Amino acid sequence: MTCRKNPLTQRPESVGCELLSMAERKALFAIIATAEQFLSGEIALIGTAEVIARLGAQLRAVDAELLSPFAEIADESYELGIRNPALWSPSFIAERALSREEFEARERPEITSSCEALRVICLQLLNECPVCTFPCDGPPYNSLSEPSYEKCRACGFFFDDLDTEFDWGEWRRRWIAKGMPFASPPAPIGWEPPSCFSQ
């Protein structure tokens, strides 16, 4: 795995220069998996919206505007659900099922595009070095928090079994104190450490 600068993506302002925790990384993987299941037709729109809204509430790394369609659909769809079918007549249940189908058909295009955009943002965040935010070719840690055993080209941090979130912060402090040199020259053209590191 090598790290490279992707000029088309920017780190969300909501994250700034803060480290993403392993819990946030796991939530990002779960969001990607849910979005992919929806896009492949494995899960329905309302279930997708409910899961992504719940997971998104745990994150500061994803812009709230990108998550808002999921939260809105989760809220709106609550009225369409039938919590205890035994209490309702078959005609009422059939009417609710039709309303739910119409709701899903109406909302599907927006949620499809939101899932695609969310997947890109989550992958971008997961592929960042947790120390310096330099974009890597793949996640430094997988969905089970297992390391890639690779080294970040920018800051030189090695992703292994022994590192911890504390190690990320300490390595970052030391790297900044050294002037943020690019560990494996040459640095990609146009790459610069995040400006918030020098503040």
Q: 149 falls in which pLDDT band (50, 70, 90)?
A: very high
Return the pLDDT at 165.
62
**Taking Cα atoms as reference points, which of 139, 143, 138, 170 lies closest to residue 155?**
170
Give the pLDDT mean for 103-130.
91
pLDDT at res. 17: 66
pLDDT surpassing 90 at residue 51: yes
Rounded distance between C-alpha atoms, residue 179 and residue 137, angstroms: 25
Cis peptide before 186 (omega within 30 of 0): yes
Q: Is 0.85 surpassed by the pTM of this model?
A: no
pLDDT category of residue 32 using cuts at 50, 70 and 90: very high
pLDDT of residue 82: 66
- Max mean pLDDT among 6-10, 31-35, 83-87 falls in 31-35
**How much of the chain, in percent, has pLDDT values that exceed 70?**
87
